[in-house]
Structure 1
Amino acid sequence: MSETISPIGFSASEDWTVEDFYRFFHQLNILYNRLYVLEKIKNKGQSRNLKNAFYGSLSSVSESHRLIIKSIEVHSPGDFNLLGVDKIIQQLRDLWKDISYQNRLTKQRLTEQNRHDKQMHQLKEVAAMQKLLQNQIKLMHQLGYKEDEIAQGVKALADPLEQLVELADSRKISLKEVKSKN
């Protein structure tokens, strides 16, 4: 797997409970590790028990490829900056843009009277989650996993994904723009 390490940053607003803070970093780490494991399996061309691979994902990620906290500013607005393997960070960045950043302006304009727009936004969120999961399902199929293993794999990815979407919906956190290296 590529050794390139890339940044990802989030801006936080409002007051956070300790549970929200823990849940965000814990679920982000779980999702990162599980996406990493799938990429590692793909690159090595080895088939292994997917459930065990996902639930032992932390021990499968080498120290140099683990998600690293670059900086945290805990005030409102807060600022979280992390480093991780480029390919996995890009997947997280794309996911977050789909579920949070791109739809944030739309969410702010929604009103209860405009139920159709709210439903469309919810469909976009679901589509973003499905896009990530669909790519991972395709990869699991290519790696030769059976349907029951794929179902377990989807659950292992969907659990942290749903919790991250819930935090994104609360408007407490958003993806920061990546600064170009010019």
Structure 2
Amino acid sequence: MSETISPIGFSASEDWTVEDFYRFFHQLNILYNRLYVLEKIKNKGQSRNLKNAFYGSLSSVSESHRLIIKSIEVHSPGDFNLLGVDKIIQQLRDLWKDISYQNRLTKQRVTEQNRHDKQMHQLKEVAAMQKLLQNQIKLMHQLGYKEDEIAQGVKALADPLEQLVELANSRKISLKEVKGKN
């Protein structure tokens, strides 16, 4: 297997719970390890029990090939509390209400477009997941696995994949551009 290590980055927004943070990295690690194991089996040209290989994937990944944290920055949305002269504060409240009302009108105009965009995004997510799984199914066929083993392998890959997609959407995680990579 290639010794080249490449970067991948994600951007996230909104508040995170410790559980969300753990779940994202845990599921990402599981998926990474299982994809690594399948690639390793392919490169060795040896067939082995796929279920055992996937569920023992962490121990199958050498330390130098494990997913490594390069950096983490955690920021939560801000919370500002101010004190001021009542009449001025009331004017600011009124101003903010007006701004909020205008924002609501703008949001209503875009809601329909957003709904359509969301549906298209969901279709693209499903297509991307299917593409990854289809490539892995093809590889498992090429490696000579039986249909029941392939079904177990697909489930082992699909579970963390689905959780990562759910987290990507609920926590607005996006892939960061990496200089020199497409």
Same structural fold, with TM-score higher than 0.5 when normalized by the shorter chain: yes
Q: Which moved more, 1:110-119 or 1:31-40?
A: 110-119
Structure-2 separation of matches of 1:87 and 1:42: 72
Alpha-carbon displacement from aligned partner over 1:88-142 (angstroms, at most 9, x marks no partner): 9999999999999999999999735775544332221110100000000000000
Instruction: Look up the match of 1:17.
Output: 17
Structure-1 separation of matches of 2:54 and 2:61: 11
Offset at residue 39 of structure 1 (A): 0.3
Higher RCO by CA contacts (8 Å cutoff, separation 6 or greater): 2
Alpha-carbon displacement from aligned partner over 1:68-97 (angstroms, at most 9, x marks no partner): 011111114899999999999999999999
Maintained 8 Å contact 2:15/2:77? no
Maintained 8 Å contact 1:37/1:60? yes
> TM-score when scaled to structure 2?
0.77
Pick closer, same or farther for the CA change 1:81–1:22 going to 2, 3 Å.
Answer: farther
Q: Which moved more, 1:165-174 or 1:144-153?
A: 165-174
> TM-score when scaled to structure 1?
0.77
Pick closer, same or farther for the CA change 1:93–1:59 going to 2, 3 Å.
Answer: farther
Maintained 8 Å contact 1:9/1:175? yes
Maintained 8 Å contact 2:16/2:171? no
Structure 1 residue ranges, 4+ long, deviating more than 6 angstroms after superposition = 77-110
Tell me how large the CA RMSD over aligned residues is: 15.0
Identity of aligned residues (%): 98
Q: Which moved more, 1:92-101 or 1:161-170?
A: 92-101
Pick closer, same or farther for the CA change 1:59–1:114 going to 2, 3 Å.
Answer: closer
Q: Which moved more, 1:102-111 or 1:151-160?
A: 102-111
Maintained 8 Å contact 2:10/2:175? yes
Return the index of the structure with the highest Cα Rg: 2
Pick closer, same or farther for the CA change 1:35–1:10 going to 2, 3 Å.
Answer: same
Q: Does 1:44 align with 2:44?
A: yes
1:133-144 aligned within 5 A = 133-144=133-144
Structure-2 separation of matches of 1:44 and 1:8: 26
Structure-1 separation of matches of 2:148 and 2:80: 37
Alignment coverage as a number of residue pairs:
182
Structure 1, unaligned runs of 5 or more: none
Alpha-carbon displacement from aligned partner over 1:51-78 (angstroms, at most 9, x marks no partner): 0000000000001000001111111489
Maintained 8 Å contact 1:168/1:174? yes
In proportion to residue count, which structure has more strand? Answer: 1
Structure-2 separation of matches of 1:131 and 1:8: 19
Instruction: Look up the match of 1:115.
Output: 115
Structure 2, unaligned runs of 5 or more: none
